[in-house]
């Protein structure tokens, strides 16, 4: 027994040994990865600082701010802090290159563009854009900053592409305050989060092949935003609040009594309409999502009319309702969506787009948990966008490395071999983010089922 134990122990120890050039190889790949981004800096010291910051953001530091990164590499903290927070360099070309790379590496014709605002709790009143507003991170109205993000999702992977800081009206109404915070003149006009989304779409959409555009219920609520997307010939599936009113177009118009005005279909809230639907109206799908096990959902769709009658926002749209159940068949969550897709669109395709929208959460988990997206200590507009840009670059590098470890893309940095595969296998827990908590609507079911299994990132050729 002792001999077998010692033999197995030696085997395990051998598997844990890293190649002598492993760390140098990783460093070389990061250097090659950064080359197209560093070309946008005009000075060599800025290139060196950018490389240092990205290396620090990819490290295992607990707090990835300028001071911690400087001390990690034995550098002057003021130089790193000045580079991120005050130095004059344009972060826009770096995010343009990021969008180009993501569009090249992850592109699929049926890709999904996903918009999502993300909040950063802050104290005080000096940080640019800070105000009392809804903070999704805390689940209440609180002092925070809000960034609007665009992510790309396909069967090849998902990554955040671009971002911009939202400025509340109390900021755009105070020109002196914006000047002190370094807000550019062209950004000082008040813009809603929906307008920022449209700007991000116009700037990046042509580089990112996509079939769908998705967003949460904050984005889906205004009928005007959905109309803007229709005017751009974008196909969307946007979440909407439960109190959104619709008119069911699949029920007949009230018969005319011969007196007064003809009757019209009644308006009803989507949650109340959903409660009236018979069990036979739902289609059950079983979604298998990687290691998390199957997820059972019930889905239905209906052609509806939305918007106030007599206004330009009135439109025929597809209402899609997805409800999640636990093992006891109890509904634990219901999501409501509106789409301008045709009525013939299969339920399975609506579900794929809805699932892709949730991939943005995973992008934020990686960016905030691994590359310090929320660890900035800057107060002005340039500093916020500098840090966000460098963090997104670091996050994209980790995504590239993960894809390489999974053999989705061996790239030209180094040749894939068994030693490197072993290295990545041992580090995969650190390279890939695993959520620390399981969302309540994702219930793991161990029993086998004969229901239809739907890998949501892969298009299915089925009809409803």
Kindly report, residue by residue over 368-410, the tens digit of the pLDDT: 999 999 999 999 999 999 999 999 999 999 999 988 887 655 5
Question: How many other CB atoms are found less than 10 A from the CB of residue 448?
Answer: 7
pLDDT of 431 reads 30
Q: Which of 356, 340, 317 is closest to 235 using CA atoms?
A: 340
Contact status, residue 330 vs residue 362, Cβ threshold 8 Å: no
**Between these two residues, 160 and 405, which has the higher pLDDT value?**
160
- What is the structure's pLDDT at 280? 92
Looking at residue 263, its pLDDT comes to 67
Helical packing angle, 381-405 and 92-105, nearest 10°: 20
Dihedral angle sign, alpha carbons of residues 389, 391, 395, 397: positive
Dihedral sign for Cα atoms in the order 444, 356, 361, 227: negative
| Secondary structure, 3-state, the chain | CHHHHHHHHHHHHHHHCCCCCHHHHHHHHHHHHHHHHHCCCCCHHHHHHHHHHHHHHCCCCCCCCHHHHHHHCCCCHHHHHHHHHCCCCCCHHHHHHHHHHHHHHCCCCCCEEEEEEEEEECCCCCCCCCEEEEECCCCEEEEEEEEEEEEEEECCEEEEEEEEECCCHHHHCCHHHHHHCCCCHHHCCCCCHHHHHHHHHHHHHHHCCCCEEEECHHHHCCHHHHHHHHHCCCCEEEECCCCCEEEECCCCCCCCCCCCCCCCCCCEEHHHHHHCCCHHHCEEEEEECHHHCEEEEEEEEEEEEECCCCCCCCEEEEEEEEEEECCCCCEEEEEEEEECCCCCCCHHHHHHHHHHHHHHHHHHHHHHHHCCCCCCCCCCHHHHHHHHHHHHHHHHHHHHHHHHHCCCCCCCCCCCCHHHHHHHHHHHHHHCCCCCCCCCCCCCCCCCCCCCECCCCCCCCCCC
pLDDT at 6: 83
The pLDDT tens digits of the residues spanning 21-42 come to 656 677 889 999 999 999 999 9
Beta partners for residue 336, in sequence order: 321
pLDDT at 463 over 50: no
pLDDT at 451 over 70: no
Are residues 244 and 219 in contact, defined by beta-carbon separation less than 8 angstroms?
no
C-alpha torsion 268→274→279→281, nearest 10: 70
Q: Say which range, 8-12, 83-87, 164-168, 376-380, has the weakest mean pLDDT.
A: 8-12
pLDDT at 269: 95
pLDDT of residue 365: 92
Cα distances (angstroms) measured from residue 387 to each of 53, 81, 91, 131, 352 = 9, 10, 9, 20, 32
**What pLDDT, on a 0 to 100 scale, did the predictor assign at position 23?**
60
Compare 18 and 274 and report the one with higher pLDDT. Answer: 274
Mean pLDDT, range 113-136, rounded to an integer? 91
What CA–CA distance (Å, rounded) separates 35 from 51?
Answer: 9
Residue 452's pLDDT is what? 47
Per-residue tokens: 183 = 């807000």
Distance CA 357, CA 365 (A): 14
Give residue-wise pLDDT tens across range 299-347. Answer: 999 999 998 876 777 899 999 999 988 777 888 899 999 999 999 999 9
Q: What is the mean pLDDT of the chain?
A: 84
pLDDT tens track for 414-447: 333 333 333 333 333 333 233 333 333 333 333 3
Q: What pLDDT, on the 0 to 100 scale, is given for residue 312?
A: 72
pLDDT per residue as tens digits for the range 67-117? 999 999 999 999 999 999 999 999 999 999 999 999 999 999 999 999 999
Q: Is the pLDDT of residue 413 over 90?
A: no
Distance separating the N- and C-terminal Cα atoms of the chain: 59
> Please, how many CA atoms are within 13 Å of residue 96, restricted to the half-sphere of its CB?
9
Residue showing tokens 């990819």: 58
Distance between alpha carbon 91 and the CA centroid of its chain, in Å? 20
**Which pLDDT score is estimated for 408?**
58
Structure tokens at 302: 């209906």
pLDDT over threshold 90, residue 276: yes
For residue 265, pLDDT over 70 is answered with yes
Lowest mean pLDDT among 205-209, 222-226, 437-441: 437-441
CA dist 207 → 1, 102, 157, 159, 212 (Å):
61, 9, 16, 14, 14
pLDDT for the residue numbered 63: 93
């Amino acid at each position: 027994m002792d001999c077998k134990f010692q033999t197995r122990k030696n085997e395990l120890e051998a598997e844990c040994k890293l190649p002598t050039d492993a760390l140098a190889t990783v460093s070389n790949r990061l250097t090659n990865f950064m080359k197209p981004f560093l070309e946008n800096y005009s000075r060599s010291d800025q290139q060196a600082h950018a490389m240092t910051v990205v290396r620090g953001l990819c490290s295992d530091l607990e707090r990835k701010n300028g001071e911690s990164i400087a001390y990690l590499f034995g550098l002057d903290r003021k130089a790193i802090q000045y580079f991120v927070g005050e130095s004059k360099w344009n972060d826009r070309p770096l995010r343009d290159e990021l969008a180009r790379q993501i569009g090249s590496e992850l592109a699929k014709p049926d890709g999904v563009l996903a918009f999502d605002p993300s909040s950063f709790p802050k104290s005080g009143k000096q940080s640019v854009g800070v105000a009392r507003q809804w903070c999704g991170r805390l689940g209440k109205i609180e002092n925070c900053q809000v960034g609007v993000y665009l992510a790309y999702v396909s069967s090849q992977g998902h990554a955040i592409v671009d971002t911009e800081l939202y400025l509340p009206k109390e900021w755009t109404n105070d020109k002196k305050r914006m000047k002190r915070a370094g807000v550019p003149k062209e950004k000082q006009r008040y813009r809603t989060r929906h307008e920022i989304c449209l700007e991000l779409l116009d700037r990046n959409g042509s580089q990112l092949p996509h079939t769908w555009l998705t967003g949460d219920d904050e984005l889906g609520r205004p009928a005007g935003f959905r109309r803007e997307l229709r005017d751009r010939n974008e196909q969307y599936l946007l979440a909407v609040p439960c109190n959104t009113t619709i008119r069911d177009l699949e029920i007949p118009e009230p018969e005319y009594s011969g007196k007064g005005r003809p009757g019209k279909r009644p308006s009803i809230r989507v949650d109340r309409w959903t409660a009236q639907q018979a069990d036979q109206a739902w289609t059950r799908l079983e979604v298998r999502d990687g290691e998390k096990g199957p997820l059972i959902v019930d889905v239905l769709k209906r052609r509806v009319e939305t918007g106030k009658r007599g206004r330009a926002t009135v439109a025929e749209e597809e209402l899609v309702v997805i409800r999640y159940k636990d093992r006891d068949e109890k509904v634990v969550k219901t999501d409501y969506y509106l789409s301008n897709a045709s009525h013939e669109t299969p339920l399975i395709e609506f579900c794929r787009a809805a699932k892709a929208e949730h991939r943005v959460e995973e992008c934020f988990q990686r960016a905030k948990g691994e590359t310090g997206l929320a660890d900035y200590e800057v107060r002005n507009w340039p500093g916020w966008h500098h840090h966000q840009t460098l963090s997104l670059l670091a996050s994209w590098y980790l995504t590239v490395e993960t894809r390489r470890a999974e053999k989705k893309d061996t790239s030209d940095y180094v040749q894939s071999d068994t030693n490197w595969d072993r290295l990545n296998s041992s580090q995969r827990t650190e390279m890939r983010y695993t959520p620390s908590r399981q969302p309540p609507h994702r219930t793991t079911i161990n029993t086998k089922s004969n229901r239809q299994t739907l890998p949501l990132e892969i298009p299915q050729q089925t009809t409803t």
